[in-house]
Structure 1
């Protein structure tokens, strides 16, 4: 077993196989919906949850408690072990702060809590690389150096069907939501620390074309094997496959992962959300 252990939260949306094969510990966030609370990744599949969401109701989400992280860290607290705990952006969730609090409660353990500044596929890129390096025996400092370079280059660009979910969840200002509704603007949004507007366009096809252009500009002249690209979607798998095929056509040999976003992030951006995450490994 590697001396460095990797912890993350459920919004990285890793597969069960990835988690098991790489010894990653996942601490789930919680969804509160229709008088029911459940841990993300349990109770409902993504498809089942979004079917319920389309039927009406306003879900809320909450971060894991510090106690949840204490339990996770203690579970892997072997002699000499070092822990890197990688989480969704502190600008959109209190998860990072819960993990920091937990680490402070365990001074006998070597825990580094790391803010990915993003979520979903972007967060997963960092977790996967950290786990890969840990399995190969890399030091904690070397792992942190590499994922920090990846984080620097990391971009997530996406578009939503409606700004309603972001507005009511408090993740975007009311004026922005109203503007988009009144003018039928389809803004391209980004995540880097917080959610913001990258560019305002009038139609969904134009927004998609701009996102692809940004990706092409980033990928050009970079070694394919060093690129990490994923298509992110919320309950729109057909459009995600079409977008992935378009990207692969432009960059033959580039593997493009298709990631379904789960209930926690999906509750805040809404069904129909589509985007891309990309970075490069140094």
Structure 2
């Protein structure tokens, strides 16, 4: 495997919820989205943490979010070109949920090197796994088309399901329809949500938090059983003990070692405190021949 920086570099965004150190040594370059409150803006992962988001929401502050400005992508593309990159594959959260991938694509049209923008149609570590697998593909010497194909393949294999304490944040942010939010909160049920076709849908309803957590685990195990090589991640906002419990159960049931990270600050602003999510992807099935 080449020891120098790969000719193709991978860029993603901060909603990938990558663990610390994932962007080192040729891993994906992360462009931060923004968390907004009034006239204030913070770059997630730089100026504000998920814990701070949870605290602000808990104090009654109304937060919104924004995609990165085009200049942020332009600057990253310039830096990568200066570092010797010959092409970039930009893998981003679902275009149904954010305009980030469109901003990256427009910036790529003006860049000094070819940029392929990939709409993962997912989010969190389902996106993170797609970006890191794409970076591994690039590090192995594959071309931009193969790297983009690998990102799309992993993202398409994903299943992301999650629980929230309240659907109000998703409804106010326009990520869940009013009727779906009303249905999800009817009769005191606990809604299980899923990322499907790039958007957020109400998947199931159960009666208690414990039953919802159990169902979350069962859905993840079922998906992992259909994977050649499952990649599993658990996310939370202000619920580390519940996340650790779910991760331990998934490790025992799937044989995979789950990645456990807080949900990103931007996702946390929409999901709200107490959110718990599981993402499963298939890391197998990489069919590209080695280029050497």
Q: Structure 1-normalised TM-score?
A: 0.92
- Unaligned 5+ segments in structure 2 are 286-292
| Alpha-carbon separation, structure 1, partners of 2:146 and 2:39 | 45
Give the conservation status (yes or no) of the 8 Å contact 1:34–1:57.
no
Give the conservation status (yes or no) of the 8 Å contact 2:191–2:205.
yes
Partner of 1:116: 120
| Alpha-carbon separation, structure 2, partners of 1:176 and 1:141 | 38
Partner of 2:141: 137
Pairing partner for 2:46 from 22, 31, 42? 42
Shift in Å, 1:43: 2.5
Residue 202 (structure 1) aligned with residue 232 (structure 2) = no
SS at match of 2:81: coil
Give the conservation status (yes or no) of the 8 Å contact 1:231–1:256.
yes
Question: What is the CA RMSD across the aligned residues, in angstroms?
Answer: 1.8
Shift in Å, 1:18: 1.7
Encode CA deviations 1:14-61: one digit per residue, 9 max, x unaligned: 244221222532211111125421111122332233122211111011
| Alpha-carbon separation, structure 1, partners of 2:48 and 2:59 | 15
Shift in Å, 1:177: 2.1
Where do residues 198-237 of structure 1 align in structure 2 (5 Å cutoff)? 198-220=203-225, 222-223=227-228, 226-237=229-240
| Alpha-carbon separation, structure 2, partners of 1:20 and 1:45 | 20
Pairing partner for 2:181 from 174, 177, 183? 177
| Alpha-carbon separation, structure 2, partners of 1:162 and 1:98 | 30
- Unaligned 5+ segments in structure 1 are none
Q: Structure 2-normalised TM-score?
A: 0.89
Flag the 1:231–1:64 CA change in 2: closer, same or farther, 3 A. same
Where do residues 130-169 of structure 1 align in structure 2 (5 Å cutoff)? 130-169=134-173
Give the conservation status (yes or no) of the 8 Å contact 1:179–1:185.
no
| Alpha-carbon separation, structure 2, partners of 1:207 and 1:145 | 35
Partner of 2:290: none
| Alpha-carbon separation, structure 1, partners of 2:150 and 2:137 | 9
SS at match of 2:165: coil
Pairing partner for 2:263 from 255, 261, 264? 261
Partner of 1:7: 11
Shift in Å, 1:212: 1.9
Deviates more, 1:49-58 or 1:229-238: 49-58
SS at match of 2:23: helix
| Alpha-carbon separation, structure 2, partners of 1:52 and 1:197 | 26
| Alpha-carbon separation, structure 2, partners of 1:112 and 1:48 | 34
Shift in Å, 1:279: 1.0
